[in-house]
Amino acid sequence: MQKPLILVTNDDGITAPGLRSLVKFMKEIGDVVVVAPDSPQSGMGHAITINNTLHANLVTVDDIDGAEQEYSCSGTPADCVKMGLQELLDRKPDLCVSGINHGSNSSINVIYSGTMSAAIEAGIEGIPAIGFSLCDFSWDADFEEAKPFVQKIVKQALANGIPKGVVLNVNIPVIENEKIKGIKICRQARANWKEKFDKRTNPMGKDYYWLTGKFELLDKGEDTDEFALANNYISVVPTQFDLTAHHTIQQLNNWNLNEH
């Protein structure tokens, strides 16, 4: 039987250790093609390139652990998926996996995430998709403990399918001196970033700014991704890309919008 074809992408760049680990994990499950950014694209959200040219080059990153084919793309994570599906793959992938991201994409972070936007782009195109993130921003983060859980989630997705209009947002806690307890299906926690701009002046006397901020959890629920991660569970949030607030339609229909 033909192995499942798995498209792998990310937002940290094609040489990022998280992506290299994900490629190795997926090679044990199916045929793997990588289309990933040629440079870091964190925080790009669902940006696409419309005012510049795009390039996709066939590359070899790992002689031993590399994918069947790998393309380094000059665009954003969403660009990578579009290019992969429309130009580079010779057949429709059975699954798209994005990551493993260096850093959390839980809660409100999903809005800004290039990792999750790549998965969402695949979902929009009708490809089952999963975004994986490890809650460790360091370049030398250890992804090995997550391997059996990542593979289990992928195998279940291939076997059971993912509902149309939904992608999975998977976040993996960083565990010290303990083990991951398991996997929890969760909702997205309500949270926000309280931004702060660090204002500085360059040697030419021109002001510039560095964006910083503090994550503020506004949700005490025990069914959220943040609660799961804090208690050493992997969180899986089914994430939809239909942004309609359906429960508000009736309320807005009561507004006097068509009266003159």
**Stretch 120-143: mean pLDDT:** 95
SS3 198: strand
Structure tokens at 117: 């936007």
Number of domains in the chain: 1
Average pLDDT over residues 72-93: 96
Asked, for residue 204, whether it belongs to a domain, the answer is no
Asked whether residue 21 is marked as a ligand-binding residue, the answer is: no
Asked, for residue 198, whether it belongs to a domain, the answer is no
How many Å is the Cα radius of gyration of the chain? 20
Examine residue 74 and state whether it is found in any structural domain, yes or no: yes
pLDDT tens digit sequence for 97-129: 999 999 999 999 999 999 999 999 999 999 999
Task: Find how far residue 225's CA is from the centre of its chain.
Answer: 15
Domain assignment present for residue 201? The answer is no
Taken in order 188, 113, 183, 246, the sign of the CA dihedral is positive
- Is the residue at 208 inside a domain? no
Assigned domain for 36 exists: yes
Is 11 marked within a binding site? yes
Residue 177 has what pLDDT? 63
Whether residue 63 is predicted with pLDDT greater than 90 in this model: the reply is no
User: Is residue 42 part of an annotated ligand binding site?
Assistant: yes
Looking up residue 97, the CATH number of its domain turns out to be 3.40.1210.10
196 belongs to a structural domain = no
Nearest CA-CA partner of 142 in 52, 241, 20, 34 = 20
pTM for the model: 0.93
Consecutive H or E run containing 22: helix 17-27
Q: Which tens digits make up the pLDDT trace of 181-195? A: 999 999 999 999 998
**Residue 160, domain extent:** 5-189+221-253
Name the packing angle between helices 147-160 and 17-27 (round to 10°). Answer: 50
Q: Establish if 154 belongs to a structural domain.
A: yes
Q: Is the pLDDT of residue 1 over 70?
A: no
Is 28:151 a contact under the CB 8 Å cutoff?
yes
Cβ–Cβ < 8 Å for 73, 83? yes
Per residue in 202-227, pLDDT tens? 999 999 998 888 989 999 999 999 99
